[in-house]
Amino acid sequence: MFGSTGIVSNIALRLRENLSFRGVAVRNINIGGGLGGEIPDNKRLEYALQHIHGIGRSKAHHIVCELGVDNKYVKDLSKRELFSLRELLAKYLIGNDLKKLVQRDVVRLVGIQCYRGIRHADALPCRGQRTHTNARTRKAMRTYSGTR
């Protein structure tokens, strides 16, 4: 009995040490209300900005250049740099605002019953892709009625 509890406590101690060593707790920096939420602080600024919906590689590089700071880790940014980053991101249409705009556009297309709107309603690709053998991602969203 004593040996088995010693082994269990030893395993638990090693597991706890491994989890703290690997850094399970990921810290994020909040960049403002409707701007898109949080960016990870253990990455460089150019890559951390890409975690926001609507910011890709090109726009992230442009933001870092316009901000005038080095591409350093987010956790190393000063409060003044974070404030200027928030002001700069407020100029762009990103995050939840972008998602709402795209959803509103799709609803408009479905409402006027144009070709793209019908394809959106049927959950099929609407930009000319073939559907005979491909389009698995769009066709997987549909619920099949049991027939082919």
**Residues 85 and 56 placed together within one structural domain of the fold:** yes
Domain of residue 101, CATH code: 4.10.910.10
Count: domains in the chain: 2
Residue 103 lies inside a defined structural domain of this protein = yes
Structural domain of 76:
28-89
Residue 4 lies inside a defined structural domain of this protein = no
**Residues 82 and 132 placed together within one structural domain of the fold:** no
How much is the pLDDT for 36? 61
Q: Give the C-alpha separation, 26 to 58, whole Å.
A: 26
How much is the pLDDT for 131? 85
**Residues 43 and 80 placed together within one structural domain of the fold:** yes
Residue 60 lies inside a defined structural domain of this protein = yes
How much is the pLDDT for 20? 41
Flag residues of the chain having pLDDT under 50: 1-6, 8-24, 148
How much is the pLDDT for 18? 44
Kindly report the pTM of this predicted structure: 0.67
Residue 148 lies inside a defined structural domain of this protein = no
Domain of residue 82, CATH code: 1.10.8.50
**Residues 35 and 73 placed together within one structural domain of the fold:** yes
**Residues 33 and 82 placed together within one structural domain of the fold:** yes
Residue 38 lies inside a defined structural domain of this protein = yes
